[in-house]
A and B are shown apart, each in its own frame.
Chain A
Amino acid sequence: MNELRAILIEQVDRLIGDAGGVALLRQVETGEFPAGLWAGLEAQGLALSLVPEEAGGVGLTWGDAAAIWQVLGRHGAPAPVAETMLGAALLASAGIEVPEGPLGLACGRAAVPFGRHVSRLVVLEGGTVALHEAAEAAPAANIGREPRDLVTQGPRIARGLLPNAFGPRAGLLGRALIRAALIAGALERVLALTVDWANTRRQFGRAIGKFQAVQQQLAAMAGEVAAVSVAVSQAARAADAHGLAGAAFEIGCAKVVAGEAATMGAATAHQVFAAIGITEEHELHHFTRRLWSWREEGGTERFWAAEIGRGALARGGANLWPDLTARDPQASEDRSTEGARSGSAA
């Protein structure tokens, strides 16, 4: 499976790069759908990639999916790829045939990402999933200027029960994992841009990256970027081992760390870039505005920290450490299997 993951990652990376990179983000922010990119991604089977093979999909693990979302985040996630992957997996798990085209995730009162561009809604309520036609969309956007629309549900096409592994909060947990993974990728991009700038911009006769004051800030930022990546890997591995419902702790941890790191990383990047970084013309803000937006989606740091903290307080000091280690994935029989690392065999 790791080979397949590597191929898909490479394809996503190349397709988005070829489709225009930052120019594509500018286009998305004006409300235009990147139809060409979408067609390319769909042709690679990405939409159905989280659907099990026996249901006609690719059968990726959550670990594979999170790795792909991280690459997507590196490019600013110009299309609802992650949402469609999740929506398709949820529909298929309830035995509902997955339609073609991008899917809108409708989860409680949360706005629908790219809602104006979808013709089908995946509506999540408790432990049920329903496929609806998308009726009217009231356009709105987050500060990333990504479409976040209020979409009226049209006629219902199908409805089913989610298996227990997904649980009654599948929509929230899936969206949290998606946002954390996208943040991990966007932060990698912002760090790379900022290091590049620090090595290019000269003041006082040398590159500003030669100043220890700048080096120390970027090193600290690298620590946060690495932390998010690890937190997301742990969350995806837990989802592979216990299902989304059983991975709420790790997913919550990932979203807390991702949100905190997004705040710190965006602030550091802007500090190092100084004035040029806050111009419309520069590419940095396409990523930092998304980082600030994505903190708010799929549950904030405060939301998830409160849930984790309530759990820890209810269990008391003596259980904190044993509860943490009890969540370790059990070693597979064959230590050499790749699946163990992504969690599918755990």
Chain B
Amino acid sequence: MRFDLPDTPRDSEALRAELRAFLAEAGRDWSAATRARSWMGFDRGFSRAVGARGWIGMTWPRRYGGQERGSLERIVVLEEMLAAGAPVGAHWIGDRQSGPLILRLGTEEQRLRILPGIARGELAFCIGLSEPDAGSDLAALRTKAERSEDGWVLNGRKIWTTFAHKSDYMIALVRTSPAPEGGSRHAGLSQFLVDLTLPGITIRPIRDLAGEDSFNEVTFDEVRLRPDDLLGQEGAGWAQATSELGFERSGPDRYLSSFPALTAGLDALTAAPQPGAEVAIGRMVARLATLRGMSLSVGGMLERGESPQVEAALVKDAGNLFEQALPEQLRNLLDPGDSSPQLREMLGVLAQLAPTFSLRGGTREILRGIIARDLGLR
């Protein structure tokens, strides 16, 4: 494991200034709850506005709607969005994961059909991984696509799929041939680009503990897919899906989820100073600055074409600990009576949302298993 520090991209201060001006305007009416939900907020209008500025898919080639900018510049955009608590959920998955996957593995037809829409902030994606009997043990998944005379027939069920009910496409990992007897269960899996408007797809939102519809059960009943809905190589789905984990697990969305509460906390503490607050705040800021360095370091490795999966797992684990502890530490500093209405609202949202931080994108236990393997313990 190693974490070299990357250069800051040139002109990043100018880009930050542009973003801050945009976000100040766009975010004038965001409630404290919206800011606290951060990338769990889904706002197509906002995503279209971000797309219009060229800030989605910005590293992609221009012919696919991209801007051909560096991946560290893209991180500047992500950081500013999250620091402001912007509701980026409608384009987050497409920009972070689905788009890059299509760019890397998709056919030219798929790229031209899909990528410009993501970049415009018009096409929303969800990730079809978990199933009722396959969560952390993802390779146990049973949804399958079988060849038909004119393509594939998809049957099965995905669950806990965030924003499936609001998305246009799912990239689903499914079984296309049985796992070989005594061989790896990772064999025989493939990824499909599934248009969620197709007949035979039922999407049932699952209300969460906060009373929100954010995740879903998605049922596929004889869904007919075209041959060119296969993404990448048949049978290579496991490697394809896990190759994106460096991007999925190391970004600023893995440590900044509750950051807006820290800024609200600083303001509340300025209005109502509390003894000992500076030490607690200083510890949080020191951790924040360090996590940012770790995340940027993995960003630099990704830009150089490396595959830092262990480092990414480590950033996510450490980042999740931070973003989960942050609201609790603010609670320790300010009684509700001394707090501000904004902070109280944020802490209420975060108390209900924070348990998911160390579940989504790989549980803490799975990540630590990956790290333990790298240490030589497994």
* Interface, chain A (partner B; CB < 8 A): 191, 195, 198-199, 209-210, 212, 214-216, 218-220, 222-224, 226-227, 229-231, 233-234, 237, 249-250, 252-254, 256-257, 260, 301-302, 304-310, 312-313, 315-318, 320-322, 324-326, 328-332, 335, 340-341
Q: Mark B328-355, 1 if CB is under 8 A from A, else 0.
A: 0000000000000000000000000000
- Given A317-B262, A322-B20, A215-B372 contact (CB < 8 Å): yes
Q: How far is the CA of A219 from the CA of B3 in the complex (A)?
A: 16
Interface pick from B5-13, B57-65, B214-222 = B5-13
* Contact assessment for A219 and B318 in the assembled complex, using a CB-CB cutoff below 8 Å: no
Q: Report the Cα distance A209→B377, complex, angstroms.
A: 6
**A-B CB pair tally, cutoff 8 Å:** 184
Interchain CB contact under 8 A, B16 and A325:
yes
Question: Chain A CB within 10 Å — which of B12, B283, B286, B374 has the most?
Answer: B286
Say whether B372 contacts A302, CB under 8 Å.
Answer: no
A305 and B314 within 8 A (CB) = no
A-B contacts, 19 listed (Cβ < 8 Å): A209-B377, A216-B365, A216-B372, A219-B368, A222-B314, A226-B311, A227-B318, A230-B297, A234-B289, A234-B293, A305-B280, A310-B282, A313-B273, A315-B266, A316-B270, A318-B263, A324-B288, A324-B289, A341-B4
Give the residue name and chain of the A residue nearest to B256 (CB).
A321
Whole-angstrom CA separation of A77 from B168 in the bound complex: 59
Complex Cα distance A328/B289, Å?
A: 11
Q: Which residues of A contact B287 (CB under 8 A)?
A: 227, 256-257
Determine if B263 and A317 form an interchain contact, defined as CB atoms under 8 angstroms apart.
Answer: yes
Given the known A-B contacts A223-B318, A226-B3, A325-B16, are A306 and B279 also in contact in the complex, defined by CB atoms under 8 Å?
yes
Alpha-carbon separation in the docked complex, A226 to B376 (Å): 16
Report yes or no: B285 in contact with A312, Cβ–Cβ below 8 A.
Answer: yes
Q: Which residues of A contact B77 (CB under 8 A)?
A: none
Q: In whole angstroms, how far apart are the Cα atoms of A189 and B156 in the complex?
A: 49
Partner of B282, one of A199, A256, A321: A256
Please report which residues of chain B, range 261-275, place their CB below 8 angstroms from some CB of chain A when the two chains form the complex: 262-267, 269-270, 273
Given contacts A306-B282, A313-B277, contact A331 B7 (CB under 8 A): yes
- Residues 159-198 (chain B) with a chain A CB within 8 angstroms: none
With beta carbons under 8 angstroms apart, the residue of B6, B83, B262, B371 that contacts A222 is: B371
**Chain A contacts for B372, CB-based, 8 A:** 209, 215-216, 218-219
The complex places the Cα of A76 from the Cα of B267 at a distance, in Å, of 43
Known: A224-B318, A249-B289. 14 other contacts (CB 8 A): A209-B377, A210-B377, A215-B378, A219-B371, A219-B372, A233-B293, A253-B290, A254-B290, A305-B279, A305-B280, A309-B281, A313-B278, A320-B266, A329-B8
Check B292 against A320 for contact (C-beta < 8 Å): no
Complex: A209 Cα to B7 Cα, angstroms: 38
Q: B21 at interface (Cβ–Cβ under 8 A)?
A: no
Selected from B4, B259, B289, the residue in CB contact (under 8 A) with A253 is: B289
User: Residue of A at shortest CB range from B370?
Assistant: A219
Is A226 in contact with B294, judged by CB distance below 8 angstroms? yes
Interface set, chain B 296-310, CB cutoff 8 A to A: 297
B209 within 8 A of A: no
- What 8 A-B pairs are tightest by C-beta distance, nearest first? A305-B282, A309-B282, A309-B278, A317-B263, A219-B368, A308-B282, A215-B372, A309-B281
- B369 on interface, CB distance cutoff 8 Å: yes
The smallest beta-carbon distance between B47 and chain A, in angstroms, is 22
CA distance A330 to B124 in the complex (A): 35
Among B263, B290, B371, the residue within 8 A (CB) of A234 is B290
Query: What string of 1s and 0s marks CB contacts (under 8 Å) between B356-378 and chain A?
Result: 00000000010111011011111
Closest Cβ of chain A: how far from B169's Cβ, in Å?
A: 33
Q: A212 is contacted by which of B6, B286, B369 (Cβ under 8 Å)?
A: B369
